[in-house]
Amino acid sequence: MNSPNYREIEKKWLVVSRSPYSRLEKRFVEWYRKQRLVPPGSILFAETIDTYWLTPGKGDFVRLRSSRGQRMNGEKSSLKEITVKHKDKGSNLDRLEINVEVDKVLDCKALLKTVLGPCLGRIKKVNEAIIFDGEVVISLAELEDGRVWLEVEGPVVASLKEHEDLLNTMFALERKKRSFVEIYLNKGE
């Protein structure tokens, strides 16, 4: 029996553009459909609410995620999970990530509040297009503050390179090495 891989290899960029999210999303999705031949079932449009707590032990934070959306082929989709992330190698590029799917978000929120105390904060992705291209996941997301972010996740750093090069031709990107928690919720950093 193979043990699960609890690693997250991820790069994040701020999209520098005056175009509205809808125009950026259309360009992003159309390019992947035409150039990479990504099928409609592998493209998801979602709205996500993430609530965060700091951890008292090993780990940087705990995230409770509630996401609902629809795939391009019309199939409904939802995700509810608790995630622990830890920069065990010192960076957000390659870090420990453990995800556990849950059924009842409100019960989990009450449990986390009881065990970890008040939440650090909440981040809402009001629009998100997620593309599953083999083992690589690419997401374009607009957060509540109107900023648009691009993330690429894959099994190894090399798997991100091809997508990074392509996305740099599609958008003006500003690389960010901090997590959303560090950018939006840890105001002292």
- Checking if the pLDDT of 38 tops 60, the result is yes
**Does 40 reside within a domain?**
yes
Query: What count of residues does the chain have?
Result: 189
Which pLDDT belongs to residue 187?
A: 60
Question: What is the rounded distance in angstroms from the CA atom of residue 26 to the CA atom of residue 36?
Answer: 15
Question: What is the rounded distance in angstroms from the CA atom of residue 177 to the CA atom of residue 179?
Answer: 7
Structure tokens at 6: 């609890």
CA angle (130 as vertex; 147, 12 as ends), nearest 5:
50
**Does 126 reside within a domain?**
yes
**Does 156 reside within a domain?**
yes
Predicted TM-score (pTM) above 0.85? yes
Q: Which of 142, 147, 119, 116 is nearest to 129 (CA)?
A: 142
Q: At what angle do helices 21-35 and 157-170 cross, to 10 degrees?
A: 120
Domains contained in the chain, number:
1
Average pLDDT, integer, range 95-100:
94
Question: What is the rounded distance in angstroms from the CA atom of residue 150 to the CA atom of residue 103?
Answer: 28
Looking at every residue in the chain, the average pLDDT score rounds to 92
Which pLDDT belongs to residue 63?
A: 98
**Does 81 reside within a domain?**
yes
**Does 2 reside within a domain?**
no
CATH number at residue 24: 2.40.320.10
**Does 1 reside within a domain?**
no
pLDDT, tens digit (0-9, with 9 covering 90-100), for 120-178:
999 999 999 999 988 899 999 999 999 999 999 998 888 899 899 999 999 999 999 99
Question: What is the rounded distance in angstroms from the CA atom of residue 174 to the CA atom of residue 150?
Answer: 10
**Predicted confidence band of residue 45 (pLDDT cuts 50, 70, 90):** very high
Question: What's the domain range around 123?
Answer: 7-185
